[in-house]
Structure 1
Amino acid sequence: MLKRHSMIAKALTAIALLAASQSHAGATLDNVQKTGVLRGVLLESYPPFSFLNGKNQLDGFDVDVAKAVAKKLGVKLKLETPAWEAIAAGRWGSRWDICICSMTPNKERAAVLDFPVFYYNSPAVLVVNASDKKVGSLKDLEGKKIGIEQGSSYESYLQKKLVLEAPNAVQPTYPFGKLIIAPYSNEELAYQDLALGAGKRVDAVISNLVTAHERISKGGKFRIVGQPLYQEPNWVAVGKGDAKWNARIKQVIGELKKDGTLSAISKKWIGSDITN
């Protein structure tokens, strides 16, 4: 009898889960079409991908890609810029529909978010103050403070637990000993502290190659150390479990790649095509 009850309970659970998944299927796309608004989320200070321009408006590579996606869907775009931790934590509920925000899929994020499509690739690099001539690699920073954005893949990397979930991704190696992780609410603050000089507040920052070049080109007194630490495949992120929405976003990004829109946006902001 107990076995029979157990089988019935399992069957009822399976039916409930199926009903829940069916009720959620396509809910995001239906809501976007009904309201005429795509609710996107990204970072406020991650140039040249997203930042506030001279008119105090969000601008950059990710912003333009989000605008292109909204245009393809025939809806308006509404962007918000919460803390990265809130974005990467998933379980967005009814807050946001999409994150075109330079997110690298890892094991933890894949448990709470879906990643329907890749849209650009860029390496992670080590950045130090330009006056610091001694550092040649992470090995030289044993026991030193490394600034990173809290909740970023860089934090997982320094914890030696980053597992990239992207197809065919080359998993990072960890050729360094014990480092002190200095988490920041945003990358801009980490760079500001690094600009004070080596050892003042942090000894280095781990960043995206493109954003590092952007800050250096704008007069930042920094230098990139050695070879990239690992490749960052960046994917569009959405709430978990909506297959219809996943398929539509994959289709839209595919169309933007095919018609040259993504390439043009990349060349505008990066100077080369990083979307292949």
Structure 2
Amino acid sequence: MKKFAAVALLTLGAVLAGCSKQESATPAAAPEPTPAAVTKIVVGLDDNFPPMGFRDDKNQLVGFDIDMAKEAAKRLGLEVEFKPIDWSAKEAELSGKRVDALWNGLTITEERKQNIAFTAPYMENHQIIVVPAGSAIKTKADLAGKVVGAQEGSSAVDAIKKEDAVFQSFKELKTFGDNVTALMDLSTGRLEAVVVDEVVGRYYVAKKPDQYAVLEENFGTEEYGVGLRKDDTELHAKLDKALGEMKQDGAAANIAEQWFGKNIIK
């Protein structure tokens, strides 16, 4: 009996020792890595959208929104990179994290809010109707039976379709990759009217007042904001703060004066 008890005790001791050794060999969980600090923001834009964002004679990106983004990034201590994208695929570019922000005359709409988080609006805009100088078109009702142009994927298209009776009266709504091409087709007679952001339309009309005219009626008022991913809450808060400060200290108004000759900041 004593011999059996001794063997049993030895066996039990070996088992316990094995368990103890196995437990001590289990590595401790590695600490969570610290997220890298954000040092750069990539801004997606349509680089053929004067005066918001476009290329000058030296092929450099310039414009109102370019200057606004540069000033905001400077205040946040961030480098800013401007990345031209297919504007009709802007939401996919943002959600795919190929850009961090959409900052190029982006209209705040309820539909876009489903997929995009917007900063507070920084300016108001209208969807104006541009026609050739001397055109018989004076009102929206006169667009019946006419070929009308707008930029594909733009809020101009959305604004037109909201007024269904007017939209249905068109002979055709033609869409273009950019506003510049649409206005060129207007000047050559392939279109009879173009619906376009006021900031863009008036920029071109001022350059060629003998070629274009702007109707008194428009397709509504809208607000511009910076578009961000919904989960990018830190950048959202920082940009809202920077834009608010730019409005308060006059920096945003100064940028607007340079591009539009007046303060259009909201």
TM-score scaled to structure 2, two decimals? 0.80
Gaps of 5+ in 2: 1-33
Residue 138 (str. 1) matches residue 114 (str. 2): no
CA distance in 1, matches of 2:118, 2:153: 17
- The amino acid of 2:159's aligned partner reads Y
Measure, in 1, the Cα distance between the counterparts of 2:153 and 2:92: 8
Once the two structures are superposed, what CA deviation does each residue of 1:206-263 show, in whole Å capped at 9, x if it has no partner? Answer: 1122221211222261110123331121111111233222211111111111121101
CA contact (8 A) 1:122 1:210 kept: yes
Distance in 1 between residues matched to 2:145 and 2:133, nearest whole Å: 20
Q: In structure 2, what is the Cα distance between the partners aligned to 1:116 and 1:147?
A: 29
Aligned to 2:258: 268
Match of 1:218 among 207, 212, 225: 207
Deviation at residue 185 of structure 1 after TM alignment: 0.8
Separation of aligned partners in 1, 2:75 and 2:68: 11
Q: Which runs of 4+ in 1 moved over 4 A?
A: 88-91
Report the Cα offset of residue 91 of structure 1: 4.7
Q: Please name the residue that 1:93 is paired with.
A: 96
Aligned residues: percent identity? 28
Q: Flag the structure with larger Rg.
A: 2
> Structure 2: how far apart are the matches of 1:101 and 1:210?
11
- Counterpart of 1:7 in structure 2 is none
What letter corresponds to residue 232 of structure 1 in structure 2? E
Asked whether the equivalents of residues 39 and 78 of structure 1 are also in contact (C-alpha less than 8 Å), the reply is yes
Q: Is the 8 Å Cα contact of residues 119 and 234 (structure 1) preserved in structure 2?
A: yes
TM-score by length of 1: 0.78
Task: Let me know the Cα RMSD of the aligned residues.
Answer: 2.0
Query: Is residue 2:235 matched to residue 1:245?
Result: yes
Task: Report SS of the residue matched to 1:188.
Answer: helix
Number of aligned residue pairs: give it.
230
1:124 aligns with 2:146: no
Q: What is the rounded CA distance, in whole Å, between the counterparts of 2:184 and 2:46 in structure 1?
A: 17
What does residue 185 of structure 2 align with? Answer: 193
2:185 is matched by which residue type in structure 1?
D
Q: What corresponds to 1:114 in structure 2?
A: 117
Q: Is the 8 A contact 1:139 1:175 kept in 2?
A: no
Contact 1:83–1:186 under 8 Å retained in 2? no
The 8 Å contact of residues 42 and 81 in structure 2, kept in 1 or not, is answered as yes
Q: CA offsets per residue over residues 125-182 of structure 1, 9 Å max, x none?
A: 10111142x101121111322111111111112222xxxxxxxxxxxx6662422221
User: How has the CA–CA distance of structure 1 residues 149 and 89 changed in structure 2, closer, same or farther, with 3 Å as cutoff?
Assistant: farther
Query: What is aligned with 1:43?
Result: 46
Deviation of the 1:196 alpha carbon: 0.3
